[in-house]
Amino acid sequence: MSHAAANNKTETEAATNSSLKQSLPQPANSHDAKLLNGTLARTNGLTHAASAAVNSSSSGYGSSSAAGTGAGSGGATSSAASAAVGPGPPSTALPLPPSSNGLQMPYERFRADDSSYVPIGQFYAGRSVFITGGTGFMGKVLVEKLLRSCPDIRNIYLLIRPKRGQEVSARLTELLNAPLFESLRQEKPKELSKVIPISGDITSEELGISEKDQNLLCRNVSVVFHSAATVKFDEKLKLSVTINMLGTKRLVELCHRMLSLDALIHVSTAYCNCDRTDVSEVIYAPPYNPDDIISLINWLPEDILDQLTPRLIGKRPNTYTFTKALAEHMLLKEAGNLPVAIVRPSIVTASLNEPFAGWVDNFNGPTGLVSALAKGMFRTMMCEKNYVADMVPVDIVINLMIAAAWRTATRKSNNLLIYNCCTGQRNPIIWSEFVKHAMTSVRKHPLEGCLWYPTGDLRMNRPMNTLNCIAKHFLPAYILDGVARIMGKKPFVVNVQNKIAKAVECLEYFATRQWRFKDDNVHALLNTLSPKDREIFVFDVRHINWDKYVERYVLGFREFLFKQRPESLPASRKRMLRLYYLHQLTKLVAVLLTWRFLMSRSKRLNDLWSSFLENALKMARLIPFL
């Protein structure tokens, strides 16, 4: 970087930090420092003191439910903060009792004699829903579940981006022809006509939606699910901010114009606060003011921004978790009086039951690594085997989202509710158990064209892991590619190993650390559901049988990602048996060659071996006479 660029970078960081200090109040104590320091009207699980500071303040963010920025113990308003955010009316939020401990409000349990209870399916009857990210992994499951379990839903509007010259109508047709919608196509084909495409782009102003379609949404939509995001861990900061933050801001602006909005559900991630080990269902103070980061990406050259990125994200591992944390705070600021809730899933994996067990459509996260393990191409990684692998099936997350929207709409509140959708507290599985189940399943249900017998180890010794990567991943890959070149075929194994290494690098941060995600709000929401709704919209993670789930997971990616039918399993198992014997033979040969090499280099070892064999033969001669 040039001297001028370096100065520019230093000035940028100084300006950003200065703006942050001005726009956020100083905490009165260490506990309040963890939260939003009482800057916003939505109490969001703030302590009694922080909530009181909110109520005593008289200026804040320029929305109808925004509160003042009380500074210190006296709650005086910072002039710099006031200048930054503008004046606003006094907060109407009520202070939480000191014993609330992060719960937004008391959750009443379901009572059979409660005549005011509205079943979830009935709540969605006649309503129209708007979904961003509807063509993604979670979005597809959400659309299918709403059509299947809420049959009287009016319309589902999907924000779809024209892609590679393909119109949104063609993309919608392709989406609805996916295996995921097979049962609906056969049993309820008319339901699919309720899905209406809205041409747009989350990265564009006003979401790229035409004025006509905006008016259509504003007149008809009463529930919004915002799941559009870039989930690439190595995404450039500029694009990550544009999608995860600006996209959220633009959606909120549209929601403010909706005439009958009853619920906005924002999908975040449990790992947006991965810089702390204990994560409650609250929004924590962000590392920077979101507006400052947005300004930064607008005026800084991208090369300078790339150099600043590691400093900006701090203890977080990537731009994804960084921008998701900022997006939550921005949502809290911009939402005003909108009925909003945030769902934070941990690592989202294949479906548990719906629409059928094991459904998955991408290689993200553990799926890619387990697939590589099944192919015999992945054998070692850095991972703390006794740490919790906090992963959650996609249908669990979707059911929670649907129930959270129902709760937000039917129990009006001034609080922004947050739901940590995780398994680590109620039904944990550690990494060693997950790998054990996966290893058993990929051997029982092998993939066609396995390159080697699946084995693997989890290590926390980096030098040993690196040696094993070289010996077990890249050395065989170069040998196989060399053979392919000799035979006149296109080499590919080294390229695949490079992709696996990149995926492992992304997952390593999460496999070598452990978090405790509190899920009290999720558990409380579950208790408000009727027995029938609990059966239809299942999100109780205590019912997951991990052994059976991982087996279905393996069968799922075998069928839906590798397109291999169950009829091919007998032939694959025969091949797996041959690979097993070849694997054992290779280990035996390796041991013998190593022993032979050591004996040829050590006379003392050679003498000891000769003496051992001589004594063994003497004992063998005596056996028949014993």
Report pLDDT digits (tens) over 41-77.
343 433 233 333 333 333 333 333 333 333 333 333 3
Give the model's pLDDT for residue 204: 93
The C-alpha torsion from 597 through 599 and 600 to 605, rounded to 10°, is 150
Rounded-to-integer distance, Cα 450 and Cα 448, Å: 6
Residue partners of 626: CB distance under 8 A and separation at least 6: none
552 phi and psi angles, rounded to 5 deg: -65, -35
Is the per-residue pLDDT at 37 higher than 60? no
SS3 164: coil
**Closest listed residue to residue 91, CA positions, set 74, 105, 77, 107:** 77
Residue-wise pLDDT tens digits, 523-558? 999 999 999 999 999 999 999 999 999 999 999 999
Average pLDDT over residues 186-211: 94
pLDDT given for residue 597 in this prediction: 82
Q: Are 539 and 399 in contact (CB under 8 A)?
A: yes
pLDDT of residue 596: 79
The bridge status of strand 278-279 relative to strand 516-517 is parallel
Q: What is the model's pLDDT at position 163?
A: 84
More confident position, 163 or 388: 388
pLDDT at 286: 86
Percent of the chain with pLDDT over 70: 82
Higher per-residue pLDDT: 208 or 51: 208
- Per the prediction, the chain carries an average pLDDT of 83
pLDDT of 442 strictly over 60: yes
Q: Is the pLDDT of residue 452 over 80?
A: yes
Yes or no: say if 326 and 288 are a contact pair by the CB < 8 Å rule: yes
The predicted pLDDT at position 526 comes to: 95
The DSSP symbol for 532 reads H
pLDDT (0 to 100) of residue 109: 75
Dump pLDDT digits (tens) for 487-533. 999 999 999 999 999 889 889 999 999 999 999 999 999 999 999 99
Strands 391-393 and 347-349: parallel
Reported as a single tens digit per residue, the pLDDT across 210-222 is 999 999 999 999 9
Least confident of 79-83, 144-148, 392-396: 79-83
- Average pLDDT of the residues in 228-245: 89
Q: What percent of the chain has pLDDT over 90?
A: 66
Q: Assign 591 a pLDDT band (cuts: 50, 70, 90).
A: confident
CA distance 511 to 465: 14
Token readout for 241 is 């901010």
pLDDT digits (tens, 9 = 90+) for 283-339: 999 889 999 999 999 889 988 999 999 999 998 999 999 999 999 999 999 998 999
For residue 112, name the pLDDT band (cuts at 50, 70, 90): low
Backbone angles phi, psi at 209, to 5 degrees: -90, 135
pLDDT of residue 592: 85
* Predicted confidence (pLDDT) per residue in 17-31, tens digit: 444 444 433 333 333
Q: Is the pLDDT of residue 396 over 50?
A: yes
Total-model pTM: 0.81
Quick one: pLDDT at residue 609?
A: 79
Q: Picking from 113-122, 197-206, 444-453, which range would have the lowest pLDDT averaged per residue?
A: 113-122
pLDDT at 624: 62
The b/e string for 470-484 (b: 16+ C-beta within 10 A; e otherwise) is eebbeebbeebbeee
